[in-house]
Amino acid sequence: MIKILNSANETKAILQNVVSPLITESINREFTFSFTTVIDNDKSAYVNYQHKVELEDNYFNIVYAEEQRTMDGLFINAQCEHVSYDLSNVTYTAGFTATGLFSAVATTLISAVNTVLSANFTFGTSEITASQTISINEAVTARSVLLQLAALYGGELGFDKYSISLYTRRGADRHVQFRYRKNLIDVTRIVDNRKKTIAGLPTISYSTKAAELEFEQSYIDKGYSSSEHYELGDTINVIDEDLNIDISLRIVKESHDPEQRMQGTVEIGEFVDDLTDTLTTIQTTTVAKNSIYNGCSIGPDDGFVAERSDALVKTFMNATNGIEIDLKPTTTSSYTAVFYVQVDTATGTAKLYLGGDAIFAGNLSAAGGSFSGNVTIGSGNNIFKADTNGICLGNATFASAPFRVTMSGALTATSAEINGRFTTKTTGGTTLMDVFQDTYGGVLYVYDTNGNLDCKIGVESGTGSNVGGTLVLYNDSISKPRVEMGIRNDLDAGGMNLKDTNENNLVTLTADSPYGPYIAVKDSSGNLISYLTITEGYINSEKIATEVWAAQTGVNTDTFVQGDHNHGIPDGTILLTDTGTVTWVESGGFSHEHIQT
C-alpha cells in the first residue's frame, strides 16, 4: 500500500495496484523509490511532482513520472527520491566553510535550508563527538555538503522523514548467512583496481540476490525469522563453495520490494569514500603532515603555511604563535617578519605588529597604546601634530602654531571657549582659581598659594535685595567674608558692606537710597551711630554742622579778627594730619570763622 500525500502531508490517494515497487538505499549515497501503477484517471492523477509518497514510515518526493501505453494498458512509471534530496535545492554559491561538532555544523546547515525552502528538517542525533573543519571552495549544494560532512566525520547518515542523524555505523554485526542452496540466488564478485583500499589494493565487492527468509511463513511459524533479519550496514556472511567464496563483509547497498518481501538485492564490500568534489578538510586532531595543497602545507610544527610560488612571501598560522607574514627581497635572502599577530595565553591577549604603513577604511578604536614616532593629521597649516615638542594645531611649525601645548604643560591659544568647570592649580596641585556654573550663572573663586579662599565673583538670583554681579572678599576662608559688593535690586545702584570679625555689617556704602548716596557706620551691636548723605550727616549720633545748617538755624557765622588764642588746646599738642603730624601753638596772626551760637 502506497500513500500519496500533498505538501501539507495530507493523504490524497492510496495506490493498491502497484507494479515493481523498489526501495534502494546506499550508505551515505542514494535513497530512492520507484514504482509503476495503472492510469485510472482518479488516484493516478496525484502521481506528479507536486506530491510525495509515504512508505515504510518515510517520505519520498515524486520527481519523475512517465505515462506509457502498452499492450497491457496505460501505466505511469514513477521515480521518487527521499525528501532529504530537497537539500539539493539550496546552493552555497561561494562555497561552504565551518568548524565544530557535526551537531553544530549540521544544525547550521539545516537551519539555512529551512529558511530558504520554508521546510521542516530537524537534526536528530550524532554519535560522533569529534570536532572538524570543512572548507569547500566552490559552489556546492546543501545535500552535497551533508554527504561530505558524513565522510569527513567518519559517520553514516540516517534519514527518518525530515530528521537527519549521523551514526558511528548503520546496522550491526548480525552475520546472517547468504548461502548457496539456502537463500543465495546469485552472486557477482567485482574486483576494481581503479579504486584502491588504504593498503593500495583493488577494492572487492559482491552483488547478491537472496531470498528474504525473514518473511517466509515457515520461518515465521518456527520462530526463525529474527535470525534471518538483515538491514543496511549489517555485517553478513556470503558462502558459495562452488565459487570458493566464504567472506564476511558489510551491506553497503540494499534494495527490496516493499509490497512483497520475497527477494532482496544487496551489495557488500569495503565502504570506501568516493567523494570527488573540490574539498579541503582540516581535521582538528590529526593532519597529513607537510602535505602540499596549492602552495599550502599543514604540519604539527608551523601549523598552516602558505608560500607564494616565487618564495618571496610566506604566511604562517597556528594556535601557539598566532598569524605571521614574512617577506624577503630575493630567493637567497632570509625571511623577515613584517606582520604578525602574537598571542599571549598567560594574559589572554594578542599583539599586532606591522612593519610598514597601514590604511584603515573605517574607524580605529583602541583601549590604549603608545607611539614611538610622530602623529600627524592633515597637511600644510591645516594640521594637527604630536611630537617631542608637544601638540599643536594650525601651523606645521610648533613655535608658530596658534594653538600649542609644550611638554611641560604651557598652553598658547588665540582664544578659548570652555564648557564646564575650569580650574587652575599650582605645580604642587593647590587650587588657585576655580570657574564654574552654579544655579544662577558663572562663579569665580580665587585662592592664595596655600589654597585659602580670598575672593568670589558671582551672580545673584534676582529674587532677593541684590541683582546682577557680586564680589565677596574673604579672609582666607569661606566662613570669613569681610567685604561684600553688589547692586541693589530696588534702586539699581551699587553698594558695599564692610564686615567685622563677627560678620557684622559695620560700614555700608550705597550709590543711591531714598536719601541719595550715603555712608553708614554702625557699632558692634548693629546700631547706626554715624552716617553721611549729600546734604547732612551724623557722627556718633551728633549732627554735623554745615554752613547751610547754620544759616537755616540762625547761627552767627560772621568773620572777625581776634588776638592770639588756642581754642582751648594746650600749646605743644601733637595733631595728626593727612601728611603726618603738626605741633599746635597759640597764634593770632591769621583770620578764620568763628560760629557763635
What the block records as the C-alpha cell of 315 is 604566511
Per-residue confidence (pLDDT) for residue 439, from 0 to 100: 85
C-alpha–C-alpha distance, residues 176 and 219, integer Å: 14
Decide the pairing of beta strands 31-38 and 73-82: antiparallel
C-alpha–C-alpha distance, residues 78 and 80, integer Å: 7
Give ∠ CA 78-80-84 in degrees, rounded to 5: 170
Q: Do 323 and 315 form a contact (C-beta atoms < 8 A)?
A: yes
Total residues belonging to the chain: 597
What the block records as the C-alpha cell of 537 is 550727616
| Coil, helix or strand at residue 342 | strand
Q: Torsions phi, psi of 278, nearest 5?
A: -70, 110
Decide the pairing of beta strands 235-240 and 177-179: parallel
What the block records as the C-alpha cell of 240 is 558459495
Q: Do 142 and 113 form a contact (C-beta atoms < 8 A)?
A: yes
| Coil, helix or strand at residue 361 | coil
C-alpha–C-alpha distance, residues 446 and 456, integer Å: 6
Per-residue confidence (pLDDT) for residue 558, from 0 to 100: 59
As beta bridge partners, residue 448 has: none
Burial class (CB in 10 A: 0-12, 13-18, 19+), 328: middle
C-alpha–C-alpha distance, residues 65 and 63, integer Å: 7
C-alpha–C-alpha distance, residues 548 and 555, integer Å: 10
CA within 13 Å, CB half, 283 = 13
Per-residue confidence (pLDDT) for residue 286, from 0 to 100: 40
Q: Do 227 and 206 form a contact (C-beta atoms < 8 A)?
A: no
The residue type at 227:
S
| Coil, helix or strand at residue 106 | helix
Q: 568670589: which residue's cell?
A: 456
Tell me how far CA of residue 306 lies from CA of 94, 99, 317, 575, in angstroms.
Answer: 21, 20, 9, 108
C-alpha–C-alpha distance, residues 488 and 424, integer Å: 32
Tell me how far CA of residue 102 lies from CA of 82, 115, 280, in angstroms.
Answer: 21, 20, 17
User: What stretch of H or E contains 144?
Assistant: helix 142-153
Of the candidates 373, 337, 332, the one whose C-alpha atom is nearest the C-alpha of residue 354 is 337
Per-residue confidence (pLDDT) for residue 554, from 0 to 100: 66
Decide the pairing of beta strands 73-82 and 58-70: antiparallel
Tell me how far CA of residue 10 lies from CA of 14, 57, 60, 120, 161, in angstroms.
Answer: 11, 14, 14, 15, 15
- pLDDT 10s digit of each residue in the chain, 597 long? 789 999 999 999 999 888 899 999 999 999 999 999 988 878 888 999 999 999 999 999 999 999 998 888 889 999 999 999 999 999 998 888 888 999 999 999 999 999 999 999 999 999 999 999 888 878 899 999 999 999 999 999 999 999 999 999 999 998 898 888 888 888 887 888 887 777 777 877 888 888 888 888 888 888 888 889 999 999 988 888 888 888 888 999 999 999 888 888 888 886 544 433 333 344 444 444 444 344 677 776 778 888 877 778 888 888 777 888 999 988 888 989 888 888 787 887 888 888 888 888 888 887 777 777 788 888 888 999 999 999 999 998 999 999 999 998 888 998 888 888 889 899 888 999 999 988 888 899 999 999 999 999 988 876 777 888 899 999 999 899 999 998 888 888 999 999 999 989 899 999 888 888 989 999 888 888 998 888 888 888 888 877 666 677 666 655 555 566 666 677 777 666 666 667 777 665 555 555 555
As beta bridge partners, residue 305 has: 297, 316
What the block records as the C-alpha cell of 458 is 558671582
Instruction: Give me Rg for the CA atoms of the chain.
Output: 54
